[in-house]
């Protein structure tokens, strides 16, 4: 099936898609800040450019959008240029797996959340982040 939108218009549409500072990322960071957590965001020099990084705790957080990262529940493939999109999303999933392995192998705590998880249950996700931080603080203090 061919694209129903002219090439110039498609380019304009695609240029508006953000790779960082999406609404759900912004809301996530705002809630972290409200809860008193301080962090760095989108550090280009780090593998995979984590959305959130807690340097002293060695915690990285990735907020994966349902479309770009191939969520089984919400990723709907475009009807045009199907092969391109299938390959693109598979490459993204493979890269996500490699990035996760890198951080696990280098003694980081890595947290990955789907866009729909953040949107649907921010409180539960924040509790998971808080638990990870407290677990590391406890181990730093010498508690198991």
pLDDT at residue 20, as a whole number: 62
Q: What would the pLDDT profile of 34-78 be if each residue is shown by its tens digit?
A: 999 999 999 999 999 999 999 999 999 999 988 878 888 887 777
Domains of the chain: 18-139 (3.40.960.10)
What torsion, rounded to 10 degrees, do the Cα atoms 24, 25, 27, 32 define? 140
For residue 132, give the 3-state DSSP assignment.
Answer: helix
pLDDT at residue 1, as a whole number: 47
d(CA 101, CA 115): 21
d(CA 111, CA 113): 7
Residue 17: pLDDT band (50, 70, 90) is: low
* Tally of residues, the chain: 144
Whole-model pTM: value is 0.84
């Amino acid at each position: 099936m061919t694209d129903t939108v002219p090439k110039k218009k498609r380019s304009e549409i695609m240029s508006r898609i953000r790779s960082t500072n999406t609404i759900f990322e912004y809301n996530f960071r705002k809630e972290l800040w409200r809860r008193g957590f301080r962090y760095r965001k989108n550090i280009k020099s780090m593998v995979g450019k984590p959305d959130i990084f807690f340097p002293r705790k060695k915690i990285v957080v990735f907020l994966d959008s349902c479309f770009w990262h191939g969520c089984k529940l919400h990723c709907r493939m475009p009807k045009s240029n199907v092969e391109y999109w299938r390959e693109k999303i598979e490459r993204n999933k493979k890269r996500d797996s490699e990035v996760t392995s890198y951080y696990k192998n280098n003694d980081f705590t890595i947290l990955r959340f789907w866009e729909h998880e953040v949107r649907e249950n921010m409180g539960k996700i924040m509790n998971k982040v808080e638990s990870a931080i407290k677990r590391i603080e406890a181990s730093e203090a010498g508690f198991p």
